[in-house]
Each structure stands twice: as C-alpha cells, then as structure tokens.
Structure 1
C-alpha cells in the first residue's frame, strides 16, 4: 500500500489463555484483544496524528457548568467527566482536548458534543444518552478526531455524525444500541464542493446492536474504511455508499442483517462499494458497485480474522474497557 504510516503500539487487554507473538501480531488464545489502544489506528493516526489534550493539565468535572467551561477552554488539557452529567443542547469542544469518562457510567445525558472547525480532539469512555439532537456532531473542517470506547443510545438524531469537510477521523470500539440513525458521513447531496476529497474516516471494532441504519451512511468520501465491526440484528441496512463515495467494507461480522451493504438510499445517487471477506450469519448478500473504483487505504494495518470479530468486539467495545 502507498503512504505507509508507522504501526501503532497497542496496549492489550488479556481475555484468557496465553499470549503468543506471531509475526509481530499479538494474539491471545483464540481472540485478538487490542481493545485499548493508547493512540488511534487508521485515519486519525495520519496528518500529524491525534495526541489529544495535555496529559499534565487535567481537570475533573461533575456539573454541567464545569463541563461546558472546560470543553470550551483554549487550554490544551484532559477533561475527566465524573458521573452522568445532565446538559441541555450541544456543548462546543475546543481544539487540543481529551475528554474521558471516569469509570464505566460517566458521560452526558440530555444533550451532545459539537466539534466545529477544531483540531486534535479525543472522546473516550463516555456514555451518551437521550440527546436532544446529535450525540456527537463533527463538522466544519474539523480534523484529527478519535472517538473511542463510548456507549451511545437513545438520541434524537445521529449518534455520531461527521460532515462539512471534516477529515482524518477514527471511530473505534464504540457500542451503539437502542437507536435508529447511527452514523452519518456527509450530511447533504449538494455539499460536494466542501466534502469531495475530505470525510476520510476509519470505522473499526464498533458494535452496532439492534440499530436501524447508517452504520455508516456515506456521501462523497473516498476511501472510507469499515473494518472488523460487529453488526447484530440490524433493522434496515448496515453500510450505505451514495453520491459516488468509495467505501471498503472489510472483514466485518454480520449477524441477522438482511442488507449488510447497499449502494443507494433515499434520494442520493449510488456510491461505489467493495467488500472483502465479511462473515455472515443469517444475513443477506452484500450489494457492491466498484464504478470509478474505491481508492486504496492509505495506511498500514493488520485486519483481524472475520470469524473472530464478534468475540473480540463484544468483549472490548463500550465503556469500562480502557
């Protein structure tokens, strides 16, 4: 592959059995368990990387007012969210922030986080519930974002929406459930002038559990990498590629998914989509459309075997795993 990125060192969570090193890949018994990377794989590792906020400047927040102030501060810092904080509306997140939940039940209810025109933000180990709009909204040329190990459910609109020319983003190890429209990538059919050449996102090791659609639903972006995710009991479809996007759907695990991939939805024109070695249980046939081709993935990676994805993701996705 071209544009080889350096391999990311991974902190590994042991599930069971002995650890064996084979050709540089850490394997734990029958389950690869890289469930707690210390830095992002995929697109968020490019373009200068995504180190997040300063680890030496740390603030712990327990109230809505303190959270809002810390998120919007111009200081490079780590914001520790303690408890499930009730907010109203969308809170803006400034550049150079790491926002991380304390324990497995800390996060936000009633509202969401907005990243607009910012760079270098990490959102990890957070619970999102009952947002009045999007749970996480990434927009307006925001770059280098890592959204990792969160638990998102029961929002009003999207759980993780990425749009308006945003770029170099990795969405990993999140658990999404009790929701319909999960992840939008590109908000409008008429926004090509801003989105073409951008919206490059890696979706890896996420668990979509009984959700309806948009896992993700893509416009314009090429290539988007959908790798080693677990889809269980999906209502409408898994992955959608539209508006001449290019999406590579690789070694995912589809269980009880009638339409694992589609190349057209809504009023959008079809997109390009290629598949490789997806594992299917009681699921339909993937739709593919190579069209003008799906571009090569521009970073190095080692995919997990498709039949092991379910065990790995269910053990590692969501909060309390880092």
Structure 2
C-alpha cells in the first residue's frame, strides 16, 4: 500500500498543532539579565521585534528598552510605582516589569469628584423632558462633571517615554482602570499584560447626539498617538468586571463608560500588534480618528495586525482611515447579538485583509464583516468563515449593493514573518494569543 503525502495545507495545520502542544507560558525572572543581544533570548524584557514582523520592524526596527542598564530596570507592584518608573530616567532605554495587577482607580470614583458635583442633580438638570434635545448641556453641574473628569484623567493616564519596554511578569500581570498613553515618542514595546478597560466615572450626556441623545465617555486602555515603532504583543484587552451589559441606562440610553481598547491615531506610524486578545467590547480598535486629519495622517498609520483574537467585539476590528493596514492571520469570534462589523473601510484607507478566520453564529451573514464608511479600495483574499473559504468582498457587495466596495488596496505587504493557514487559526490562537501565553 502506498503512503499518501499530506497536502501543504494539512502539513501546515499539523505542524501548528504540534507547536501549540509544546507551548508553555513564559515565567519571567525578576533579576536583571545581562543579555542585550537581538532577540533577547528567553528573557521577555530583553526581546526585540523580529525582522520582517510587520510595519514596526521597518525603518530601523523596534527594540524598546532592550539595552537598558541595571539602573534603568524597574519592578513595580502598584500604579504609583509604575508611573514613577515611567517618569524616571528620561528617554534612556528602560525596562518596567509589572508584577500583579496595578489598580489606577482603587479608591473609587468618589476620589475624583470635584466640589459641588452631584450625579442625581446632573440627571435632574439635563433630563430631556426638561432640557430638550436641541442644545448641548451647560451650567454648574456640567462644569462640576468636567472638573471631576479632569481629576480622573490626571490620575489614570500614564505616559510612556521613548525606548521603553513594559512587560508583565508571569501569567497574571496587568493594569485595571489605567490608560497607557504612547504619545509623541519612538521605540516602545508592551507585552504580556491584561488591560481591563478604564471605566469613565463621569460620562457626558449629549442630547444632540442622534435622535435620542447619548452618553459619551473617554479613556482608551491604550493610545498610540503620533508615535513610531511600537510593538504591542501578547496582551489581553477586555472590559473585565464591567462589560456593557452590566452598565445602567439613564434617559433610556446606555450609560456608556467605555471608549476604545486600542486607538492608533494622529500621525502614529510603524506599529505591529501581534498575538493579542481583544474581547467583550464595543468600539474596539480605531486606526485614524478623523477624516480631516490628512495633514498628520496621510502617508502614516502603517499598522500590521496579525495573530490576534477578536472575541465578542461589536465593531472596529479595525476601523481604518488613511493607513496602509495589513490584517492577516487574525481570528474573529463574532457575537450573536449587537454585532455591527469587523473591518471598517474609511477615508483614504488601504486595508489588506488576508488569511483571517471567522466564526459566525447562526443569523449573522458574512457580508456584514465589511463596512463601508467612505469610498476606498480594499484587498481581501484567502479568508475563511466557519472553516470554509469565502470571498468576503463579493458577499458584502451582493448583500449591500448600495454600499459596494472597490477591490485592490494598491499595495502588497511584504513584512510577514509567519503566515499560517486560516483553518489552523482557531486552535492556534486560542492556545497562544493573549497575556500569559508567550512561548
């Protein structure tokens, strides 16, 4: 009897399964290692982004704080220690090891309230039955809310300097209630953290937002703003203890206390987000935040998203303006309720989305994966839905002919260090993506 030779696709899947079986979580030593060589060996804090691993590997690559001396290696266990470590040493290469969960809001929302703020009074003053829907809110309670929000912002934002690596130690390191601001810097690595989305204590009521008004919130778990060479790897972004389903409603509308999980905006460039989990969120990942930002964003916002899991997220996975974005080998587990879309095609965007996999529940059609916000070309190829190849552009255009999208993003990605078969992604990424699962 002749022995059959497995197909290339099957060999790839079999090899991936073996890799998953042999993968164990990496536990970090708290001692400062001496090695600063490229790659950094097995010490997560000294590892650098491999060559050809997405846009962040271009134009010099991303090394973060891999070359930090012993006096610039910090181990932190509280939010206060973390912010002090960020501020120490300027832009010299720096490593910050996070042990346990850092809580930016452990004293609760009351700690941020400005004098005179009274939420019950706020609700009474701006009740649509009293205030109406034709003007924005103003007056003493809105002023007190804004002052309270300013207090919270000052307490929960942490500004990451250039040449920094932030890494979680072990399986259970993370940040809750904080907002990491990677703003106007170069060369940052963030890995192995569970980031619970900040809960805005003081959302603003906007009676003019839509027909019924809406509550609008601030604070993303992480913002990359005008920064370059950023590697975001093996993190878990989640609403954690406060999913939208747990939030109250006022004036008949959801009291929305979450913004995004990750925003990449305002001239940010050369970013790779790999092996992360984005879970249980609404407005998840935005690349470019304004159609009018061409002066800063055109020619920038080059972002690679690969081997990430998007689980039960409603929209923006990602939504793109301007950027050349390469989204490949991601796995999407689409929620049965409230699903909007995954890939938002926005102003002057050039999204290439290839070899991704989708798990769609009954009743959600594949045409909804794409969403046209503005006319822009998109490349989609080799994607699988529920284990089968599907031409996502064709099914979108058939389902929404009035919102038909053009094929051909106009560029071909080359910075792909590893490409897996879409059928391997559900098992591979379930085992390997997210915090505590670095191999």
TM-score interval, normalised by the smaller of the two chains: 0.7 to 0.9
What is the aligned counterpart of 1:95 among 123, 147, 162? 162
Q: Distance in 2 between matches of 1:227 and 1:33?
A: 19
> Which residue of the partner structure matches residue 33 of structure 2?
none
User: Is 1:287 aligned with 2:393?
Assistant: yes
Partner Cα separation in structure 1 for residue 391 and residue 384 of structure 2: 11
Relative to structure 1, the CA distance from residue 32 to residue 215 in structure 2 (aligned partners, 3 Å threshold; closer, same or farther) is farther
Q: Deviations over 1:79-99 (max 9, x none)?
A: 001111111421100000000
- 1:250-285 CA distances to partner (integer Å, 9 max, x unpaired)? 1000111644642423xxx22221111101019986
Contact 1:124 1:149 (C-alpha < 8 Å) held by counterparts? yes
Which of residues 149, 162, 165 in structure 1 aligns to 2:234?
149
Retained in 2: the 8 A contact 1:263–1:270?
Answer: no
Q: What 5-or-longer segments of structure 2 have no aligned partner?
A: 1-7, 27-38, 40-46, 105-154, 201-218, 240-256, 395-404
Q: Structure 1, residues 129-175: CA drift from partner, whole Å, max 9, x if none?
A: 131410000002x0000000001111711111000011000001111
Query: Please, which moves more after superposition, 102-111 or 280-289?
Result: 280-289
| Residue in 1 that maps onto 2:381 | 276
Instruction: For 1:292 and 1:251, locate their aligned partners in 2 and report how far apart those are by CA, in whole Å.
Output: 16
Q: CA deviation at 1:296?
A: 1.8
2 CA distance for matches of 1:214 and 1:227? 15
Contact 1:255/1:280 (CA < 8 Å) preserved in 2? yes
CA contact (8 A) 1:157 1:181 kept: yes
Is 1:65 matched with 2:181?
no
In 1, distance between residues paired with 2:100 and 2:178? 15
User: 1:263 touches 1:272 (CA, 8 Å); kept in 2?
Assistant: no
Larger relative helix fraction: 2
Partner of 1:220: 322
Cα distance change, pair 281–112 in 1 and its aligned pair in 2 (3 A): same
Unaligned runs of 5+ in 1: 1-21
The higher radius of gyration belongs to 2
Query: In the aligned structure 2, how far is the partner of 1:301 from the partner of 1:290?
Result: 28
CA distance in 1, matches of 2:327, 2:386: 18
Distance 2:156 2:17 in 1: 40
Tell me which residue corresponds to 1:126: 193
Q: Report the Cα offset of residue 102 of structure 1.
A: 1.1
Aligned alpha-carbon RMSD (Å): 2.5
Greater shift in the superposed pair: 228-237 or 69-78: 69-78
CA distance in 2, matches of 1:302, 1:292: 23
Deviations 1:209-234 (A, max 9, x none): 1111100100011x210010000024
Aligned-partner Cα distance in 2 for 1:30–1:191 = 41
Q: What's the offset of the Cα at 1:116?
A: 0.7
Number of equivalent positions? 294
Q: 2:17 aligns with which of 2, 16, 31?
A: 31
Which residue number in structure 1 is paired with residue 343 of structure 2? 239
Correspondence for 1:262 among 360, 363, 370: 370
- Correspondence list, 1:102-113, <5 A: 102-113=169-180
Question: What TM-score, normalized by structure 1, do the two folds share?
Answer: 0.84
Quote the offset at 1:291 in angstroms. Answer: 5.8
